[in-house]
């Protein structure tokens, strides 16, 4: 038997890496995630109203950034299935994110922290 | 569907396919894969690779003529051979052409042709997207060059510093052509990068683990990742420029608080990885050539791979060394100065590995090997002058002088281009079935090498003497005349070298036709999988899917060790290589739509520059291409099995197309 | 065994296995080509939006005194509503995918159309927002804030619009019977894109709208 067939046989019935048939969370689970996301968004919007406006600026930045990152990770992990899918997707995506953060933060520093511009 | 290709590579017979031979109800799908017309609809990675190669050589002549015009102008002090304005256009287009229309597509030619073969696949992961990349690149290239006839070519230099590119300081259409033309070429690069990344990661033959892949495949993989992440940065930069010029935005408008420095940052965040995008393919090529002609495996394979990846990573942290004189501030300058010095380390590792590969090897100095050794030597010179730029005070002195011009030509001509020529001589028999002539090859090599050094060597001196680049002329009293004349002389010697290559192509082809030599599938006794199939490569690549056991697997099938530990031949390539006789392979079908879709893009470009009314035909063409593509299955069962009936779900199909009926059932 | 026989055997195997046709059993990693392509593309998009967001942030700080700025035009309650709409569309998107994966076509159609509609509402909100800003004096060419704000949010809007087109495309394909449970992966890939666009809005909403702004000039 040739490799052609061997190739097919070995791969075809091996469902172990058939990602989309992983036991995906239930719809109710997704709704819970969405509720949590909505809750965080409410907090974010809440920071806008006068009562918290007197908080120091760094605290505002810290809270907002934290909530933003949490929301980001939750959408990525659950809605985009990164938590359940193969590690390669995670790597490629995180490579893009990390590279973007590093490069643009350096650019920003070169302007605003160390630059004359 | 449109967004993704359903059956990215439905190759073996019996794949499940939806039959729809008339996607728009009118046009019949192209079926033929022979004849001149087939080149326009092909999705075969080999044909696309050849087209990239021909296209890049064509524009190489363009860029070369532009270079000669520059050198004629500078051969005399106070010359007026070219007007100031024309001179600006010529040097800008020389740079843009050589970077985006020559070196990058030439690397794409090698990548397209070789990556699927080297990993043991039958095609790339997305054959139609591959065709789209090529046509898109060609559309961008043609668009860019039509600027010569439509009000003047770009004249702001290849890195197009703001605010010189604003509508105020560059009133013609040239910089619009630059911004939009590179945008279109950028789409091509991005799509191709995604395609090749998926190909290398996902289409490897059984047993071909990442650390068994040939170095060329590895280097091209790194390049595709660099493109993947670098192209979007210049995409944004070019959009900002277009919006500034065409829609009066304020990004680089200093009067409104816009920052020209932002352009420099964005451009060089793309631009420095771009340098590695240009050079790593050549590194990959000579990493295949040197082991073959030294008859030794590559020295330190993991270090070769590791240093390539390291270069890919570190290449993102050095971009501001192009901006030392832009007022970055001492801390930024110091930081980027250091990181630039560090990036020389992995490059040095590579050079040592090539030398160690040759050390003690049985060297065969044919043309391909000569070019490869040329890369090592010339690139080392360019690399060393590059380190002098990492020293910020020295760089400050040299910025915008001919010293810089000398440096990057040693890297890009002496490194990237010579590497490509090494690859031409090496893979020519694989692609065309006959070798290039060695006598003409040696003439080609030595004239190019000597011409190159006569041209770019003296530029170091001119730069240190203070001759500024991009100046239309110089005065007699400057004392630049003698060296400039040497440089101009050298440039014509290079031209003769290039001519020798073209003559070689013709001579070798004639000779092969008149007097065919049976050279077998593997004329160099090479090491990687592409040599395990017939030359020229059969349309389906491999008769049967290769199974890989070793790094340099093909070599290990030919050579083994006897009891005394000496290497002995265990098989002849003619006996074990595929002869290309398997005709029962279902290949992806040709398609018009990549061509239609990609050539709508330059029309959109003309619309932005000249009249928005053009958006109507462009939009129609774009939509037609898009919808046609979406409705057309990635492969066509009719083509491979020779049925004429367009009757779906027919039960008269042979065993190989049984699955078509199954698909029909699930559709209903 | 001849090649033909092997091929037909492979065909027979493919016959009942074709539900997973595009889920990548033929690939060396076992990962689907299409899904990998989308993820690689999204990795690239990070640098695209990164450049736009940094341009915006940089130019917000460089805005000359006395120019119309963020706090003069932003209407946070309105934009918050848009943000909720987009967030909700991410939920309906996963519900659509979950429906088609279990062969529940009725719910798939409902959730797909709901997602597209929510996206359209978001775009309508953006157009309304742009119109209001324009009437308040902030044009695309007014100053660097205008240019960078409209470019960033415009790019995002174009992405959302493209997502809506893809959603409608999968809906039509489903109606034509060309997209069913066995092609759930296509829906998943469109979903990945859609969620990514939502993620980008999470960033934009925080960084552009909610981060503390310089005082209003009006
Ligand atoms: Cu650099």
pLDDT at B28 over 70: no
Q: Which run of H or of E encompasses B405?
A: helix B402-411
With respect to residue C131, please indicate whether it lies within any of the assigned structural domains.
Answer: yes
**Nearest residue of A to residue C95, measured between CA atoms:** A27
Residues of A with CB below 8 A from C13's CB? Answer: 8-9, 12
The pLDDT, as a whole number, for residue A67 is 95
- Region B54-77: what's the mean pLDDT? 96
B75/B474 Cα distance (integer angstroms): 10
Chain A hits for B225, Cβ within 8 Å: 95
Q: Please report the pLDDT score of residue C177 as a whole number.
A: 86
Cα separation, B599 vs B593, in Å, equals: 10
The two beta strands, B559-561 and B567-569, are: antiparallel
CA closest to C24 among chain A residues: A18
Contact B257 C59 (CB under 8 A): yes
Residues A100, B233: Cα–Cα separation, whole Å: 10
Quick one: which of B95, B104, B99 has its CA closest to B155? B95
Number of domains in chain C: 1
User: Which of A44-58, B316-330, B386-400, B654-668 is the least confident region?
Assistant: B654-668
Only one residue has tokens 């042709």, namely B113
CA distance A12 to chain C (A): 6
Confidence of residue A59 (pLDDT cuts 50, 70, 90): confident
A39 to chain B, closest Cα gap in Å: 33
Query: How many residue pairs from chains B and C have C-beta atoms closer than 8 A?
Result: 187
The Cα-based distances of C49 to C54, C60, C211 in angstroms read 8, 16, 18
- Per-residue model confidence as pLDDT tens digits over C73-107: 999 999 999 999 999 999 999 999 999 999 999 99
B316/A99 Cβ within 8 A: yes
What's the CATH number where C87 sits? 1.20.120.80
pLDDT in the model for residue A60: 85
Quick check: is C16 in a domain?
Answer: no
Instruction: Confirm if B554 and B213 have CB atoms less than 8 A apart.
Output: no
pLDDT digits (tens, 9 = 90+) for C6-62: 333 333 333 333 333 333 346 777 788 999 999 999 999 999 999 999 999 999 888
Q: Which of B283-287, B416-420, B643-647, C181-185 has the lowest mean pLDDT?
A: B643-647
User: Is the minimum CB–CB distance between C55 and chain B shorter than 8 Å?
Assistant: yes
Verify whether the Cβ–Cβ distance C31 to A88 is below 8 Å: yes
Whether B249 and C3 lie within 8 Å, measured CB to CB: no
Picking from C14, C23, C195, the nearest residue to A20 by CB comes out as C23
ipTM: 0.88
Residue from the list A13, A79, A112 with its beta carbon closest to the beta carbon of C94: A79
**DSSP string for B24-66:** TSSSPPP---SSTTHHHH---HHHHHHHHHHHHHHHHHHHHHH
> Does the pLDDT value for residue A20 go beyond 60?
no
Alpha-carbon dihedral B446, B447, B451, B457, rounded to 10 degrees: 0
φ, ψ of residue B401 in degrees (nearest 5): -110, 175
DSSP string, A51-72: HHHTS-HHHHHHHHHHHHHHHH
Task: Supply the pLDDT for residue A26.
Answer: 85
Phi, psi of B520 (to 5 degrees): 75, 175
Contact state of A72 with C203 under an 8 Å Cβ cutoff: yes
- What are B261-312's pLDDT values in tens digits? 999 999 999 999 999 999 999 999 999 999 999 999 999 999 999 999 999 9
Q: How far is the C-alpha of A55 from the C-alpha of C212, rounded, in Å? A: 10
* pLDDT classification of B380: cutoffs 50, 70, 90: very high
pLDDT recorded at residue B14: 39
- The greatest distance separating any two alpha carbons of chain C, rounded to the nearest whole angstrom, comes to 84
- Measure the CA–CA gap between C30 and B273, rounded to whole angstroms: 31
State both tokens at C2. 């001849």
pLDDT digits (tens, 9 = 90+) for B29-50: 665 566 777 888 899 999 999 9
The values of phi and psi at residue B656, to 5°, are -70, -20
First vs last Cα of chain A: how many Å apart? 70
Which residue range forms the structural domain that includes residue C49? 29-210
pLDDT for position C191:
96
pLDDT at B532: 93
Give buried/exposed letters for B617-640 (b at 16+ CB in 10 A, else e). ebeebbebbbbbbebbbbbbbbbb
Mean pLDDT over the full length of chain B: 88
Chain B residues close to C34, C-beta within 8 Å: 4-6, 8
Of all residues in chain A, the one with the smallest CA distance to B270 is: A103
Give the count of Cβ contacts less than 8 A between chain A and B.
Answer: 53
Please report the domains of chain B, with CATH numbers, ordered by start residue.
Answer: 42-517 (1.20.210.10)
Q: What percent of chain B has pLDDT over 70?
A: 90
Q: Which residues are CB-contacts of B504 (< 8 A; sequence separation ≥ 6)?
A: B436, B437, B440, B441, B444
CB C59 within 8 A of CB C148: yes
Residues of C in contact with A31 (CB under 8 A): 91
pLDDT at position B543: 87
Q: Distance from the CA of B64 to the center of ligand 1, in angstroms?
A: 24
The alpha-carbon gap from C103 to the nearest alpha carbon of chain B, in Å, equals: 13
Residue of C nearest to B657 (CA): C11
Q: C148 near B251, Cβ under 8 Å?
A: yes
Tell me, in angstroms, the distance from the centre of ligand 1 to residue C161's CA: 37
- Burial environment of residue C2 by CB neighbours within 10 A (0 to 12, 13 to 18, 19 or more): exposed
| Residues C116, C90: Cα–Cα separation, whole Å | 10
pLDDT at residue A23 in the model: 56
Q: What is the pLDDT of residue B635?
A: 59
Helices and strands (H and E) in chain A: how many? 5, 0
Cβ contact A7–B206 (<8 Å): yes
Say yes or no: C65 contacts chain A, CB-CB below 8 A.
no
* Rounded average pLDDT over B603-626: 92
Helix axes C3-17, A3-12, angle to 10 degrees: 10
Say if the Cβ atoms of C140 and B236 lie within 8 Å: no
The answer to whether A4 contacts C93, with C-beta atoms less than 8 Å apart, is no
Question: Which of A12, A92, A107 lies at the smallest CB-CB distance from C54?
Answer: A107
* Residue A84: predicted pLDDT: 87
- Dist CA B375 CA B370 (whole Å): 9
Question: Partners of B567 in the beta sheet?
Answer: B561
Question: Using an 8 Å Cβ cutoff, are B192 and B126 in contact?
Answer: no
Neighbour subunits, B (≥3 Cβ pairs < 8 A): A, C
Residue C163 near chain A (CB below 8 Å): no
Q: Tell me if B547 and A8 make a contact (CB, 8 A cut-off).
A: no
Chain segment B630-643, per-residue pLDDT in tens: 777 765 544 443 32
CA-closest candidate to residue B635, choices B21, B51, B136: B21
Tell me the mean pLDDT in the region B623-635.
79
Residues of C in contact with A71 (CB under 8 A): 202
- Beta carbons of B15 and C51 less than 8 Å apart: no
> How many CB pairs below 8 A link A and C?
168
3-state SS class at B585: strand
Interface check for A65 against chain B (CB to CB < 8 A): the answer is no
Q: According to the model, what pLDDT value does residue B589 have? A: 80
C94 touches chain A (CB under 8 A): yes
Distance from Cα A93 to the centre of ligand 1, integer Å: 25
**Interchain pair A111, B544: CB under 8 A:** no
Share of chain A above pLDDT 70, in %: 71
Nearest CA in chain B to A105: B317
Residue B306 CA to ligand 1 centre (angstroms): 20
């Amino acid at each position: 038997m040739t490799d052609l067939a061997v190739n097919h046989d070995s791969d075809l019935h091996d469902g172990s890496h058939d990602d989309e048939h992983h036991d995906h969370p239930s719809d109710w689970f997704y709704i819970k995630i969405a509720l949590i996301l909505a809750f965080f968004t409410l907090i974010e919007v809440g920071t806008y109203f006068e009562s918290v406006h007197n908080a120091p600026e760094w605290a505002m930045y810290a809270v907002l950034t934290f909530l933003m990152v949490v929301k980001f990770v939750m959408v990525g992990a659950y809605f985009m299935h990164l938590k359940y899918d193969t590690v390669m997707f995670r790597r490629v995506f995180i490579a893009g994110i990390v590279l973007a953060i590093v490069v643009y933060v350096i650019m920003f520093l070169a302007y605003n922290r160390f630059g004359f511009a | 569907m449109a967004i993704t290709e359903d059956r990215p590579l439905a190759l073996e017979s019996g794949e499940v396919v939806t039959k729809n031979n008339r996607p728009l109800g009118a046009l019949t799908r192209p079926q033929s894969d022979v004849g001149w017309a087939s080149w326009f609809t092909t999705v075969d990675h080999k044909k696309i690779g050849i087209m990239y190669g021909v296209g890049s050589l064509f524009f190489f002549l363009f860029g070369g003529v532009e270079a000669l015009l520059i050198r004629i102008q500078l051969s005399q002090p106070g010359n007026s051979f070219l007007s100031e304005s024309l001179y600006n256009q010529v040097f800008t287009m020389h740079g843009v052409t050589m970077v985006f229309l020559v070196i990058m597509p030439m690397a794409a030619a090698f990548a397209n042709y070789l990556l699927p073969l080297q990993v043991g696949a039958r095609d790339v992961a997305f054959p139609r997207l591959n065709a789209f990349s090529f046509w898109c690149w060609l559309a961008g290239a043609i668009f860019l060059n039509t600027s010569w006839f439509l009000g003047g070519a770009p004249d702001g230099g290849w890195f197009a510093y703001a605010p010189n590119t604003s509508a105020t300081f560059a009133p013609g259409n040239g910089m619009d052509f630059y911004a939009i033309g590179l945008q279109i070429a950028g789409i091509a690069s991005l799509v191709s990068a995604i395609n090749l990344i998926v190909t290398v990661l996902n289409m490897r033959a059984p047993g071909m683990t990442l650390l068994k892949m040939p170095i060329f495949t590895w280097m091209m993989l790194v390049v595709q990742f660099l493109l993947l992440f670098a192209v979007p940065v210049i995409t944004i930069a070019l959009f900002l420029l277009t919006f500034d010029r065409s829609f009066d935005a304020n990004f680089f408008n200093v009067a409104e608080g816009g920052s020209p420095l932002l352009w420099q940052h964005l451009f060089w965040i793309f631009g420095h990885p771009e340098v590695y995008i240009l050079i790593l393919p050549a590194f990959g090529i000579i990493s295949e050539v040197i082991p073959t002609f030294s008859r030794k495996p590559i020295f330190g394979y993991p270090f070769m791979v590791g240093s390539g990846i390291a270069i890919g990573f570190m290449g993102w942290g050095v971009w501001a060394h192009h901006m030392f004189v832009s007022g970055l501030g001492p801390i930024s300058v110091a930081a980027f100065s250091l990181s630039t010095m560090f990036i020389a380390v992995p490059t040095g590792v590579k050079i040592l590995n090539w030398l160690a590969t040759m050390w003690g090897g049985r060297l065969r100095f044919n043309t391909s090997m000569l070019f490869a050794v040329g890369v090592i030597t010339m690139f080392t010179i360019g690399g060393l002058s590059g380190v002098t730029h990492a020293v910020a005070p020295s760089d400050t002195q040299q910025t915008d002088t001919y010293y810089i011009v000398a440096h990057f030509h040693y890297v890009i001509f002496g490194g990237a281009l010579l590497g490509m020529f090494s690859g031409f001589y090496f893979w020519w028999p694989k692609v065309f079935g006959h070798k290039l002539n060695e006598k003409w090859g040696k003439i080609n090599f030595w004239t190019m090498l000597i011409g190159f050094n006569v041209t770019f060597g003296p530029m170091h001196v001119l730069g240190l003497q203070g001759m500024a680049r991009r100046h239309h002329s110089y005065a007699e009293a400057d004392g630049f005349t003698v060296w400039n004349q040497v440089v101009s002389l050298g440039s014509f010697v290079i031209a003769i070298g290039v001519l020798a290559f073209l003559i070689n192509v013709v001579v070798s082809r004639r000779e092969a036709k008149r007097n065919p030599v049976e050279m077998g599938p593997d004329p160099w006794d090479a090491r990687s999988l592409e040599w395990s199939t017939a030359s020229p490569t059969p349309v389906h690549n491999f008769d049967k899917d290769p199974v890989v056991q070793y790094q340099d697997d093909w070599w290990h099938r030919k050579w083994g060790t006897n009891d005394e530990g000496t290497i002995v031949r265990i098989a002849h390539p003619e006996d074990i290589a595929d002869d290309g006789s398997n005709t029962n392979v279902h290949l992806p079908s040709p398609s018009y739509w990549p061509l239609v879709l990609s050539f709508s893009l330059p029309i959109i470009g003309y619309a932005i520059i000249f009249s928005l009314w053009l958006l109507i035909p462009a939009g129609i063409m774009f939509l037609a291409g898009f919808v046609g593509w979406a409705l057309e299955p990635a492969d066509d069962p009719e083509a491979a099995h020779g049925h004429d009936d367009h009757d779906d779900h027919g039960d008269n199909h042979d065993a190989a197309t049984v699955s078509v009926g199954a698909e029909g059932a699930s559709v209903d | 065994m001849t090649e033909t026989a092997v091929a037909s055997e492979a065909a027979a195997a493919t016959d009942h296995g074709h539900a997973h046709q595009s889920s990548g059993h033929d690939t060396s990693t076992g990962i689907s080509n299409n899904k990998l392509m989308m993820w690689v593309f999204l990795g690239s998009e990070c640098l695209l939006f990164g450049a736009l967001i940094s341009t915006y942030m940089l130019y917000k700080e460089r805005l000359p005194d006395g120019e119309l700025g963020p706090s003069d035009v932003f209407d946070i309650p309105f934009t918050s509503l848009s943000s909720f709409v987009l967030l909700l569309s991410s939920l309906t998107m996963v519900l659509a995918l979950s429906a088609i994966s279990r062969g529940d076509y009725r719910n798939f159609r409902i959730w797909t159309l709901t997602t597209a509609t929510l996206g359209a509402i978001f775009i309508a909100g953006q157009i309304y927002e742009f119109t209001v800003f324009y009437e308040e004096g902030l044009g695309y060419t007014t100053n660097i804030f205008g240019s960078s704000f409209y470019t960033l949010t415009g790019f995002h809007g174009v992405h959302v619009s493209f997502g809506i087109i893809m959603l409608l495309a999968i809906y039509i394909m489903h109606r034509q019977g060309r997209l069913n449970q066995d092609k759930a992966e296509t829906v998943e890939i469109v979903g990945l894109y859609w969620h990514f666009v939502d993620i980008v809005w999470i960033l934009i909403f925080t960084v552009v709208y909610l981060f503390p702004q310089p005082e209003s000039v009006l």
